[in-house]
A = this chain, B = another copy of it.
Amino acid sequence: MPEQPYDVITMGRIGVDLYPLRTGVPLARVDTFGKFLGGSPSNVAVAAARLGRRTAVVTRTGEDPFGDYLREQLREFGVDARWVSPVAAYPTPVTFCEVFPPDDFPLYFYRQPKAPDLEIHASELDLEAVRAARVFWMTGTGLCAEPSRTATLAALRARDRSGITVFDLDWRPMFWPPGEANEADAPARYREALAHATVAVGNLDECEIATGEREPYAAARALIEAGVELAVVKQGPAGVLAVHRDGTVADVPPLPVDVVNGLGAGDAFGGALCHGLLSGWDLARTMRYANAAGAIVAARLACSSAMPFPHEVEAALAEGAVTAHGERA
């Protein structure tokens, strides 16, 4: 009997996030840190799992205790870790952040000389499972270095635009190694991936790298011209603009929220976007739902462990705001 397809498979970064246990304190003065599963596409999988979806991630860790931790965490969050293999040559990445609400969350990455998640080889992919997944989610960072770039494109080709294939534009210039596939190559890499995707998601900076446009409607139209059916442009305090190739538009304001930590909100949005698209909701409901999921995580210090359950998103939507008592015990 063939295995049921996954609802969502994500591919790309994973690492350990070390977050200050107090907010508003410079890193130099943070005494204690909490340890969390991190890495955007891995968090997207966690977010989708929290919303009841069957998910798996394709990524790699170091061959070390932090790698063991990440596999354990994925399993505890209900995310299949079968395609999370260790790389002996590199340590599991760690990322520190500073938390200065409402809008300043600097990150300090330790992914040198190379992150294990960039050592994903095309030959090791389960392309049948990738092809069968109802949603496949990849990110721009997966295109920054080999063999990850070739593997990511192989996965996109295997999809052959079946189902929902999401390209999270995720522009992190510091990850693009100088020389090899450098920043100047990024727009061409992005265009190549866009031709295989059915949905593109990004903020204005990311849209500009992918399309050269940073006016929201122009960027959305350019993403559709580049190949996708649905373009989702995140504009922070100005809300989210979603434009479908069929002419449907949803321009959704943000949910009022007292931000504690903005990190992870985009991943919650992404997991909820997958859930909405899989549920067949109309575009406006999907965007409102994803916005609410993002706002809930923004009101909490943690990221992966803060991803909301459906009743929490519904409550926020019913209330029209995320209340300050958003942190779960």
Contacts and interface: CB of A to CB of B under 8 A. Distances in A.
A68 B110 contact: no
A98 interface: yes
Contact of A32 (B28, B34, B69): B34
**For the side of the interface on A, what is the size category?**
20 to 34
A68 B26 CA distance: 10
A76 to B, nearest CB: 12
Copies in the complex: 2
A94 interface: yes
Interface string A45-74: 000000000000000000011101100100
A181 to B, nearest CB: 18
Given A110-B94, A113-B112, A65 B33 contact: no
B108 A91 contact: yes
Given A33-B32, A35-B32, A35-B33, A27 B69 contact: yes
Residue of A29, A35, A72 most packed against chain B (CB within 10 A) = A35
A278 to B, nearest CB: 32
Given A91-B108, A110-B110, A65 B32 contact: no
Interface string A68-103: 110010000000000000000001001010100000
A246 interface: no
A21 to B, nearest CB: 7
Nearest to A62: B108
Contacts of A110: 91, 94, 110, 112
A31 interface: yes
A315 interface: no
A18 interface: yes
A26 B72 CA distance: 13
A324 interface: no
Contacts of A32: 21, 32-35
A184 interface: no
6 contacts: A28-B72, A30-B35, A32-B32, A32-B33, A33-B35, A112-B112
Interface of A: 18, 21, 26-35, 64-66, 68-69, 72, 91, 94, 96, 98, 108, 110, 112-113
